[in-house]
Amino acid sequence: MAAVAAGGTGSGETPGGGGALVLIGFMGAGKSTAARAASMFSEVHDVDLELEEALGSSISEFFEAEGEQEFRRREEALICNLLDSAGPESVIALGGGALGSSRTREALGRHAVIWLHVSLEQAWDRVAGDPSRPLAADRKAFEDLFAERTTVYEGSADAIIFSDGPARTAEAIGWIAARRDELERAKLLWCGSEAGTYPVWIGREIIGRVPSRASGRRFCVTDSTVGEIYADQIDAVETIVVDAGESSKSLATAESVWQKMADMGVVRSDHLVALGGGVVGDLGGFCAASYQRGIELVQIPTSLVAQVDSAYGGKTGVDLPTAKNFVGAYHPPVEVVVDLDCLATLPEAEAAAGWAEVVKTALLEGGDLWEQVKGFDPAEMRDPEAMEPIVSACARVKLSVVVEDAHDSGRRQILNLGHTIGHGIETAGNYSRHRHGEAVSLGLLAALRLSGADELRSEVRHILAAAGLPVALPDEISTDQVVAALAHDKKRDSEGVKFVLLDLPGAPRWGELVDDADIRASIDELRED
């Protein structure tokens, strides 16, 4: 794929340019089910079924009798013959290990490759103990294989589908199939959850250049800084400009936007584009969610914090003077367009603020992403080419969590790592002393102290400081002020404020109650850094 450095077929040929749609993914991802449900194709090939027919036995029986090496040889031959002849009328579901063959990966060149994403736990729950799955007998071996193959899927996919069920997977395949030539322009991620389904395009110079799902006329809300640079690329009927900065994330600004939308004649069949960073995304999303009880929303995130986190998942809202994000609604976008070139125009401090969210995501994910972030040169935070793998990986992590838990009732709470005390610091500073990401930087250090992860805290402190993020709380913000703000934390319930804690990268715990004395100690310690 020419347009995006990481991912894709890598052949230089247009994905799907006369080729088939090829489904890849780990065992249990639902590839066979998805292929059968893809009614727009006249030819459906399930490689595992066709292999069993050619082998004259089940895959597990062949494995036992002939071994995996011979099975892979026979599998490779069948797949490459299929890929050589398949055209746009075909959908092909590959076996989970098929891309272990370099010959097979090379043969994907002219085809559109879709990775059906499944989490490790979902895959294990679906296939563990199945006698027809010879590679799903041992949990540790299964985990190692999952990690190994995930890297291969990532490098081969032109599009990735995150879905909570077959119906939404089929919807995504149909939408992608009709637009497969656009995969040359940008990488596509698809979010399919009960809260909403939408494509996420990630590429360069793609604002206004990828297929839109939005209906009606286009109106835009942006801020005074971003609007000057990008608003003319949106092709909106009218553009509403708010002041740049967290102060615009308020009910007063929302009321102003609603009134301007009414004056412009915006109707329910129109849509609103939120063009900007996290503030504009949250504010614009909230205005779209509530105007005439909801109109379509398009997110075009221009800051790092928005591109790696806030543009996905449908959380919208504004602040109250005493509480961060206290008024809002779930309102998923109909699409997200991530133009990596926007990062090049970010001020250094804004890029650094976004890096705090990258570090948070890497801590939650662990593995390759954590290693990548640890070794990343902060001087490249505004380099679109260098940042593409980071932005894409963070978006994948966010979407995988959102699909599993659309309304924050379970695992999605892990995304609050560092945010509980971070939001308290923001509020205590009247939303003007620290940018969101700067406060999260301090919140991450406090959360790691509460976790008892002292060695990891020291490592994270170094990473944050190297990026120019604050690692010490200024004296003008008192511990009492931060603790008082925690009393208004939106995640607080009858038991108290629940924290996300982390023992080591990739192993978060959520819903944890913490003693008040320990909370105070973790905040006090920030003054000593």
The H-or-E segment that residue 161 falls in is: strand 159-163
Contacts for 444 with CB less than 8 Å, ≥ 6 apart: 356, 359, 360, 363, 417, 418, 422, 460, 464
pLDDT score of 221: 98
Q: Where are the beta strands (DSSP E) in 244-302?
A: 271-276, 296-301
pLDDT score of 382: 97
What gap in Å lies between CA 7 and CA 154, rounded to an integer?
6
What gap in Å lies between CA 150 and CA 415, rounded to an integer?
22
Strand-pair partners of 402: none
Fold classified for 408-525: Dehydroquinate synthase-like, alpha domain (1.20.1090)
pLDDT score of 491: 78
What gap in Å lies between CA 526 and CA 445, rounded to an integer?
8
pLDDT score of 18: 80
Tokens 């959850």 correspond to what residue? 193
pLDDT tens readout for residues 42-54: 999 999 999 999 9
pLDDT score of 9: 43
Torsion of CA 108, 114, 119, 124, to 10 degrees: -60
pLDDT score of 501: 98
Q: CATH 3.40.50.300 residue ranges in the chain?
A: 21-184
pLDDT score of 2: 28
Ranges of the chain whose pLDDT falls below 70: 1-17
Q: CATH 3.40.50.1970 residue ranges in the chain?
A: 218-346+382-397
Q: CATH 1.20.1090.10 residue ranges in the chain?
A: 408-525
pLDDT score of 173: 96
Q: For 162-183, give one letter per residue: b (16+ CB within 10 A) or e.
A: bbbeeebbbbbbebbbebbebb
The H-or-E segment that residue 382 falls in is: none
What gap in Å lies between CA 350 and CA 332, rounded to an integer?
25
pLDDT tens readout for residues 462-484: 999 999 999 999 999 999 999 99
**What do you get for the CA distance between the two ends of the chain, in Å?**
46
Pick the CATH number of 21-184 from 3.40.50.300, 3.40.190.10, 3.50.50.60, 3.40.50.1000: 3.40.50.300
**Closest Cα to residue 100, out of 135, 50, 54?**
135
Task: Enter the CATH code of domain 218-346+382-397.
Answer: 3.40.50.1970
User: Do the strands 271-276 and 218-223 form a parallel or antiparallel pair, or are they unpaired?
Assistant: parallel
Helix (H, G, I), strand (E, B) or coil at 188: strand
For CA atoms 207, 208, 213, 214, the dihedral sign is: positive
The H-or-E segment that residue 115 falls in is: strand 112-116
